[in-house]
Amino acid sequence: TQKGMRDTDAKLKALDPNTLAVKETISQNALNNKDISLRITDAFEHFATKRAEVSASSRRAQDAEEKNMDILVNLEKDIADIEDADLASILTRIEMLMTQKEAAQATFTRITSKSLFDFLG
């Protein structure tokens, strides 16, 4: 193949005196094409990286949206429960619990104020 290239070089030189300039231009164009090819490859790799980052961010956003929707549904249910509550029965229940608490406190006070001799005798 080198012999074929030498023969081609000899023929080109014989045909045109500017052959060396043409060969240099072709070589320079080949280098430029290689540089452009590397830049395009780098650009595609950059796009692939950014696409993966956007995809991951999108997934996180979807997960957050789903969690927020669950929270919203629970809050709406709690609000509906509060709105539907019978205030009179709730107040009656609170009063009963307060009375039980006061009775327990009074009993505790009476029990703790007595000594062992009071229980024995």
Query: How does pLDDT run along the chain (121 residues), one tens digit per residue?
Result: 666 666 666 665 555 656 666 677 777 777 777 888 888 899 999 999 999 999 999 999 999 999 999 999 999 999 998 888 888 888 999 999 999 999 999 988 887 777 766 667 5
My answer on whether 92 and 55 are in the same domain is: no
Q: Let me know whether 61 and 109 are in one domain.
A: no
120 lies in some domain: no
Domain interval for residue 56 = 1-84
Residue 22's contacts (CB-CB under 8 Å, 6 or more residues apart) are 12, 16
Amino acid 81: pLDDT: 86
42, part of any domain: yes
Give the pLDDT score at 102: 95
The reply to whether 29 falls in a domain is yes
Q: Is 101 found in the same domain as 66?
A: no
57 and 110, same structural domain?
Answer: no
Instruction: Report the predicted TM-score, pTM, of the whole model to 2 decimal places.
Output: 0.44
Looking at the structure of the chain, the number of domains it has is 2
Specify if 44 maps to a domain.
yes
